Every structure is written in C-alpha cells, then in structure tokens.
Structure 1
C-alpha cells in the first residue's frame, strides 16, 4: 500500500477504536477521564524508559497501561472521600502529568522523548516503522497494534454488551442483578487505557481526546438507542479521520490537528441539525 493509505488507515483505526469506547465514556459521564488518561500515560512511558533505558518495545506499552489504570484507581479512591469526580480527575490528571513532564526535563536527557511530540503526535512517521507479519508482509507497527486493539474493543463490546449497557445507564440495577459493577468499571478503564496508549504515540493526546469524545457526543445528539449510537460514533470517527487528512494535505498543516478539527465540525453539524436534540429543531418546536 502507498504512504498515504497507511496514514489514513492508521487514523481510521484510531477513529474506530476511540469512537466506540467514547460512547460509554459519554454515557457514564466520564468524558474528562479520556483527557486525564491520554496525558497521564506520559508518566508511564517515561518511567518505563528510566527503568529499561530503551525508547521502544512492549515495556513502553505496559508502563503506559499501568499509568492509565493507576489514574483510574486514584480517581476512584479520591471520589470515595466525597470529592466530586470531575475534581478528582483534575487533581490526578494534573499531578501525574506534571510529574511526567518534570521527569522528561530532568532525567531523560538526550533520548527522543518530548512533551510536544506526546501532545501532537507525528502520524507522518507511521509508515517508516514497520514489522513483518505472516501472510501480510511489512506493516507499520502502529497500524498492526491499532488493528489488534480494535479487535479487542469490538470483541469486548459484543461479549459484554448487556453488562456495558446496564452498568452505563443504571449501576444500582446492575448490582441488584448480580452484575459485577466494580469489575466492569475497571475492565472498561483497562480498555480506555489500552486504546489511548495504542493511539498515543501515533497521533498524540489532542487527537486521542478528540476521537474519544467528539464523535460519541455527536452520535448522542442523533439517537437514544445504544446500538445506533455506536454505529454513528464509529462513522463520525472514520469520516473525521479521512476528511481531516485531506484538509491537512490541502492546507499543508498538522494532520492530527486537522482530524481533531474535523470531529468538531461534525459535532457542530449535529448540534445544529439533529432532528431531536439539535438547536434548530428545538427552536422550531418553541416557535410553533
């Protein structure tokens, strides 16, 4: 495949994985958790480097996933002390991210770890870092990893669809039905962490947050049915990735930023034009 196809395919995989997970983040009113984890994984990456002195390998993924899970655990722990959840997220997010930035500045030295790369990502480098897979041939490492993550996300959603649905809308009912609510919560946080980490190096935190939240928020405006919401969110995520790439090529600007901008455009269209929750339809109902 061509250089352009690999970039677009990688972005589409990010859009699919993040937009599907994002639906449950929106329904659980945990949108800010996406921003928190997408930044605090930086600490896990830095700590993994300090331990191994290598800037690539599975240890980086493991370190980042652990950082994401630690973020979820600390937020839940603070919330148990009657601290509002959004406040807990803000405290944990800023503290762990700041520690990661300080470690980069003071301990990493000349290694290629920098805050700007972590925030913006550099998707244009994706096609050059490849791995050879059986029956497939050379594939970019990020594309292969994101493909695996997408499979894990889809299988998890299908396998636990009823559990996700009930625990997202009514945790008390789920507990009364014998569904392990706490286990499902941390399983979900694991999926968020894995998805975020897999997307992090390729596209950066800004696009990860945009893809986790905005397509799902757009889909939420169009339907009240979970299955349709998942499909619409995935459609918005994929379309934003494709449109964003060509906008970036046209304007000769950041690809990740353009894709994030495209998600905002789809949200604006949804916010204005949704037949049930859109601003125009609400105005027409009031006027009539």
Structure 2
C-alpha cells in the first residue's frame, strides 16, 4: 500500500506537470517554446525580491514579482526582435541569461537574509513538499500547501484555456487570419505569457528554474508525433504528465536521485518510446 507522503508527493508532481503540459502546448505550437525557458529563468529575480520584501516563500507578492519579471522578459524579447531587428533566439538568449544571472547574484548577496537555496532554485526539491503542510485550527493536517496552490493554478489555467480556446486556436495556427477577423493577437500573446509565468512560478518549488522547461516542452513534443488535433493534444498531454510524475517518483526512489530530475528523465524516455513507436507504426 502506498504511503500517504508518497501519494501527496505524486499528486503534487502530477499537478505541476499537468499545468506545465497544458500551457506548453501553445508555446510549442506557436514555435516560441524557448519563451517558456526564458520566463522560467527570468522570474528568479522577482522571486528573490519577493522573498526579501515579505520574508516568506509563500507570499502572493512572490507570484506577482515573478509574473512581472515574466512579462518584462517577454516585452524585452519583443522589443529586441521588432525594433532592433535581433533574431528571436538571440533576443531570448540575451534577456533570460542576464535576468537569471541577476537572480543568482541576488541569492548569493542576500543569502543570510533569505531562506532560498540556489541549488533548489535551479532544480527544485520535490522531496520536501510534503513537509510544508496546511492544517486546521484544531491541528488536522490537510496536505501540502503546494498541492492547493497548484490546484488553484490548474483551475485558473483550465478557465483560461476554455474561455480563450477559439482565440488561441486561430491566433496560433493562422495569426494573419486572426487579425483579419478582429482577434487581437498581441493581447492574447501577452495573456499567454502571463499565464506561463503563473504556471512556472507555481511549479518552481517542484522542478526549479531549469527542469520546469522540460515539463513545458517535452509532453507536446512527444504527443505531437501521435496527433495534430489540438483537443487530442490537450488530453494526451495530461496522460503524459501523470505518467511522468508516477514514473519519475519511483525512478528517484530506485536510484536515490532528485525527483524532479527523475521526472524529466522519465519524460525523455517516454518521448523516445513515442518516437520509436511512431516510426515502427509508419514502417
């Protein structure tokens, strides 16, 4: 029988993976997958400044700070690409490396004032998630705080995807047609970036600033080999995310390794398995 701590850990990992997988679909289909990478890295200074200003890692101020940094890097990339005519990959590289390095310096400089481990910031620490619990006034444990945070983010993401489905669909696959029928593609782009920032900061404790990128990109990259239908992609990505979480948890136990790293390794193996399956099926 699975222990309650293990069950909570897997559920938290699954929620983080599902959130990233759902939003990652649009990043990959829009061919801006590395914007997720940029946002995940660039939000680090916002998190550090939020912790410094509040003294807590659970304050809503941190979400706001990280979200603002995510929007900032999106704006700066767009500025360099459109106004200064720098290629988008170079613009992403310039901005996210600068902001990420700034975040690392801030962590080092204020290491005595904030409880934020640089290594955990990079790779996450899923194993400690069940220790930070919610409880009632009478002392009844309700489970990890991360579970409820990620669950609320999932509700927000699902609401966004349902309300904006048609606009996101047409602006993703045919932006010129979207503009011709009155869809504000710029508005939906920045809303998507804001939701991406919210998702990455929610998954930050689970996967860190580096490994969260794989949770955004690998599910869609894998499932896109099987189907090109957006609705099917949304469903398959959820299944992929759950398998990644379960497989990653047990792989980390087997090899006594980082759970987040094991999850990403599992995702990579699932991608390889999907690729081999599709090639074998087509031949």
Q: TM range, normalised to the smaller chain?
A: over 0.9
d(CA) in 2 for partners of 1:158, 1:132:
32
Equivalent residue runs for 1:1-288 within 5 Å = 2-81=4-83, 82-132=85-135, 138-274=142-278, 278=279, 280=280, 284=283
d(CA) in 2 for partners of 1:54, 1:27:
36
Distance 1:108 1:250, change over 3 A: closer
TM-score, normalisation: structure 2:
0.93
d(CA) in 2 for partners of 1:170, 1:185:
13
d(CA) in 2 for partners of 1:126, 1:60:
18
Query: Contact between 2:167 and 2:183, CA under 8 Å: does it hold in 1?
Result: yes
Query: Contact between 1:207 and 1:259, CA under 8 Å: does it hold in 2?
Result: no
d(CA) in 1 for partners of 2:176, 2:135:
48
CA-based RMSD: 1.8
* 1:133, distance to aligned residue in structure 2 (A): 7.0
d(CA) in 1 for partners of 2:160, 2:276:
33
Query: Contact between 1:50 and 1:108, CA under 8 Å: does it hold in 2?
Result: no
d(CA) in 2 for partners of 1:53, 1:223:
46
- In structure 2, stretches of 5+ residues that fail to align are none
* 1:141, distance to aligned residue in structure 2 (A): 1.1
Query: Contact between 2:41 and 2:210, CA under 8 Å: does it hold in 1?
Result: no
Q: What secondary structure, in the 3-state scheme, does the structure 2 residue paired with 1:221 have?
A: coil
- In structure 1, stretches of 5+ residues that fail to align are none
d(CA) in 2 for partners of 1:32, 1:105:
26
**Where has structure 1 moved over 6 Å in runs of 4 or more?**
none
d(CA) in 1 for partners of 2:57, 2:198:
18
d(CA) in 2 for partners of 1:140, 1:207:
21
